[in-house]
Amino acid sequence: MPTSNPQQLARAAVAALSVVVLVIAAACADDAEAPASTTTPTAAPTAEATPTPTPTPDAPTAPRFSGTDGRELYGQACAVCHGQALEGTNAGPTFLDRIYAPWHHADIAFIFAVERGVRAHHWNFGNMAPVEGLSHEQVLAIIAFIREQQRAAGIE
Ligand code: HEC
């Protein structure tokens, strides 16, 4: 270093600091996306500054589902019973059956199923409980994904 001009040093320090601030800001943004991050500091009953719109008292973990990717959301919310590839499991029916084609089970039937649950009536899997924690937009994304898979399987 030829000269150690104090002004230059100060400028360098400010630049370094703003990099640090940016990195922290980015890290925080990542945290906010993660559903159950271990670093989430608000576990206390007085979680006041959380931007979550509907505070459901008995929600197991605050935001259960994030994003609007239908495939992802389906995988998180429905696949455990209806199968990752819509093939069904021993806990729920396949959607690759003609009875779930749009002319028989319109999109509204899917919305009702998620919001209100389903009384078993087609099969012997038992009832389906409502799936909580999904926004309307997320449900629509899931339905779009299901319709896409149905079309690919020739069910339309
Ligand atoms: C815990 C298991 C389980 C999960 C999770 C689940 N379902 Fe179901 N689902 C069922 C069962 C069981 C039925 C009842 C089938 C029958 O006998 O009619 C059903 C039925 C349905 C039906 C048919 C409704 C009707 O009117 O006949 C739709 C649509 C549906 N589920 C959509 C979904 C969607 C979308 C998700 C994810 C957001 C989901 N389900 C998650 C078990 C589940």
Which ligand 1 atom minimizes the distance to the CA of 124?
17
pLDDT per residue as tens digits for the range 123-138: 999 999 999 999 999 9
**How far away, in angstroms, is 95 Cα from ligand 1 center?**
9
pLDDT at site 21: 44
Looking at the fold, whether 87 and 34 belong to one and the same domain comes out as no
pLDDT per residue as tens digits for the range 10-27: 565 555 544 444 444 444
Give the range among 51-55, 104-108, 149-153 with minimum mean pLDDT.
51-55
Q: Which two tokens stand for residue 109?
A: 């039937």
pLDDT at site 64: 83
Q: What SS3 class is residue 128?
A: strand
Which CATH number do you get for residue 110?
A: 1.10.760.10
Ligand 1 pocket, Cβ-based, cut-off 6 angstroms = 77-78, 80-82, 91-93, 105, 109-110, 113-114, 118, 120-123, 125-126, 128, 131, 142
Query: What domain count does the chain have?
Result: 2
The answer to whether residue 128 sits within a structural domain is yes
The amino acid at residue 73 is L
Phi, psi of 118, rounded to the nearest 5 degrees = -135, 135
Spatial separation of the C-alpha atoms in residues 45 and 36, rounded to whole Å? 17
How many other CB atoms are found less than 10 A from the CB of residue 60? 9
Which ligand 1 atom minimizes the distance to the CA of 129?
1
Looking at the fold, whether 95 and 134 belong to one and the same domain comes out as yes
Choose one of 65, 71, 73, 81 to mutate for the ligand 1 pocket test, by most ligand atoms within 8 angstroms of C-beta: 81
Residue whose CA lies nearest to ligand 1 atom number 5:
78
Spatial separation of the C-alpha atoms in residues 128 and 121, rounded to whole Å? 11
For residue 118, pLDDT beyond 70: yes
Domain region containing 122: 70-152
Across the chain, mean pLDDT equals 79
Which ligand 1 atom minimizes the distance to the CA of 125?
12
Greater model confidence, 21 or 148: 148
Q: What SS3 class is residue 110?
A: helix
For residue 89, pLDDT beyond 60: yes
pLDDT per residue as tens digits for the range 25-52: 444 344 444 444 445 455 555 555 655 5
Q: What percent of the chain has pLDDT over 90?
A: 58
pLDDT at site 62: 54
pLDDT classification of 154: cutoffs 50, 70, 90: very high
What value, to the nearest 5°, has the Cα angle with vertex 51 and ends 31 and 36?
35
Question: pTM of this prediction?
Answer: 0.69
Contact 100, 145 (CB under 8 A): no
The answer to whether residue 88 sits within a structural domain is yes
Looking at the fold, whether 147 and 115 belong to one and the same domain comes out as yes
Contact 65, 52 (CB under 8 A): no
Q: What SS3 class is residue 137?
A: helix
Spatial separation of the C-alpha atoms in residues 115 and 56, rounded to whole Å? 14
pLDDT at site 120: 95
